Amino acid sequence: MRTSIKNVFWNAADRRLRLPWRFVVAAIVFGIVSLAAAFSLRPVLVSVFVGLQFASFGRLGTLLFQTSLQLVVVVLFTYLVGRFIDRRRFADFGLHLSRSWWLDFGFGLALGAALMTAIFLIELALGWIRVTGTFQTVSGLSFVLVFCTSVLLFLFVGISEELLVRGYLLTNLAEGFRWLSGDAAVAIATLCSSVLFGIGHVFNPNATLTSTFVIVLAGIMLAFGYLLTGELGLSIGLHVSWNLFQTSVYGFSVSGLRLPVTVVATEQVGPRVFTGGLFGPEAGLLGVGAIVVGTVTIAWWVHSREARLSLCSSVWTPELR
């Protein structure tokens, strides 16, 4: 009887808690790490941001502060639960920083920039946007300084969200469902993690049911590179440049948010069903088209480099510590 009860909670073969209970413990750890960071690290970050005068950057400064704290929390959380709960090495969450990893990262950066440039050019050609200015930023501040700050912001966002949603969550879900089959486990894990990714944007400004659905599709696209390579390089690079070019280069809203810095300031005047309106391209059909093209391009890139196109088994069959 005691053994049966233990088997409900404990996986003897893996020598660790079973998936549902790992998530329960992980949620507790995440809460503890978040509180610890808020009380211990927050005052330090406040001092740094005040000293560097980030407060004068307005909304951008506030977002950079929040994402800096978020990055620390996610990295520390992933390391702790990986080492002590999942029995995984930190690098095994998609961070084996090899030459191949950096090549994928660079391709992801180029792909995100190209996709958003295509959306901009299509809308411009069809008269769906008006260019209202160039090199706009917070009054009195250097454009280069504020733009570089936005780059840092989106780098932090890309790393933290990909590490948490794809690296930790998708991986654990895929492991948990591997009793079905590798392909089925990955499909369920990708859908579940992408739905949670979409839900995470529900409370963004101007969010709609459509925008949430498209964000789910974007989550699937971001997961695709990880599933094919077993690494987060491509996903992080794509996430960073997709956001950066969307708002700080072409002046669109990014998931409903606009930053006080852009290379090209634009105003949306086209049909919302295509442009996404105030939420940005991620809520319109052009965004859906870019996601489809992006997913196909990722498949081409992996196949051209590795002469294969198959799911990476390390996602659902980890090498446990």
For the stretch 237-263, pLDDT in tens is: 999 999 999 999 999 999 988 888 999
Q: How many CB atoms lie within 10 A of CB 9?
A: 11
- Report whether pLDDT(138) > 80: no
What is the sign, positive or negative, of the torsion defined by CA atoms of 304, 306, 311, 316? Answer: negative
Q: How many CB atoms lie within 10 A of CB 7?
A: 11
Do the strands 16-17 and 129-136 form a parallel or antiparallel pair, or are they unpaired? Answer: unpaired
Stretch among 55-69, 93-107, 217-231 having the lowest mean pLDDT: 55-69
Q: Give the three-state DSSP class for 138.
A: coil
- Report whether pLDDT(151) > 80: yes
pLDDT at position 262 is: 93
Query: d(Cα 213, Cα 198) in Å, to the nearest integer?
Result: 7
DSSP label of 307: S
- Report whether pLDDT(281) > 80: yes
pLDDT at position 40 is: 82
- Report whether pLDDT(6) > 80: no
Q: Give the three-state DSSP class for 94.
A: coil
Query: d(Cα 155, Cα 316) in Å, to the nearest integer?
Result: 27
Q: Give the three-state DSSP class for 311.
A: coil
Q: What is the rounded (10 degree) CA torsion for 195, 224, 65, 204? A: -30
